[in-house]
Amino acid sequence: MVVDRGSSKHGPLRDEIMAHETVGLVRSGRDTRLEEWRSTEPTGERHDEDTAHPDAARLRAAPASAATRAASTAAGSAPAGMTPLELDDRSELARWLGRAVFPAEREEIMDHLRHQHAPDWAVGRVAAAPPDVQFTSVGELWRAMRSASAAY
């Protein structure tokens, strides 16, 4: 007689259904659903302009404090003057882009984002980058987008 010592909170049919629901997430390493409400697990991402971060409006207006700059410089993750909201947005953009897209020009990057079903805010931010410039990294792209938006 064979004894199954595994966890049996669900029957085999429910296990198959649950495995099928998450196969895209397991294979790609990210959520594959276009609408967040269809996801089996919430992503925790909210990129509404002023609800992405509890203090979004304040963070956009205020430059980074000395403590924030020191912490980000010590971690080696962000240049001086970058707000926590900008850091989150840059990280999210990097997640959507990956390394394979570079080197590329603005239009190629925007096409890649659309193909990946990236959020509209990401495509809109990249649209602010100058055209006909070859970008080799997310950092280079981000600096170009910041300087282009500061010029307006």
CA dist., res. 60 & res. 37, Å (int) = 28
pLDDT greater than 50 at residue 132: yes
What proportions of the chain, in percent to the nearest 5, are helix, strand and coil? 55, 0, 45
Please answer whether residues 131 and 107 qualify as being in contact, where contact means their C-beta atoms are separated by less than 8 angstroms: yes
Angle among Cα 113, 51, 36 to the nearest 5 degrees reads 50
Please answer whether residues 104 and 60 qualify as being in contact, where contact means their C-beta atoms are separated by less than 8 angstroms: no
**Is residue 63 located within the same domain as residue 35?**
no
How much is the pTM? 0.48
pLDDT confidence of 35, banded at 50, 70, 90?
low
**Is residue 32 located within the same domain as residue 88?**
no
**Is residue 40 located within the same domain as residue 52?**
no
**Is residue 53 located within the same domain as residue 37?**
no
Residues comprising the chain, all counted: 152
**Is residue 30 located within the same domain as residue 73?**
no
CA dist., res. 93 & res. 132, Å (int) = 20
**Is residue 94 located within the same domain as residue 137?**
yes
Domain total in the chain = 2
**Is residue 32 located within the same domain as residue 107?**
no
Give tens-digit pLDDT for 78-102: 667 788 888 888 888 999 998 888 8
Q: Does any domain span residue 109?
A: yes
Q: Does any domain span residue 139?
A: yes
Residue with more model confidence, 100 or 63: 100
**Is residue 28 located within the same domain as residue 73?**
no
Cα 5 to chain centroid distance, Å, stands at 40
Please answer whether residues 89 and 125 qualify as being in contact, where contact means their C-beta atoms are separated by less than 8 angstroms: yes
Domain of residue 126 covers 45-151
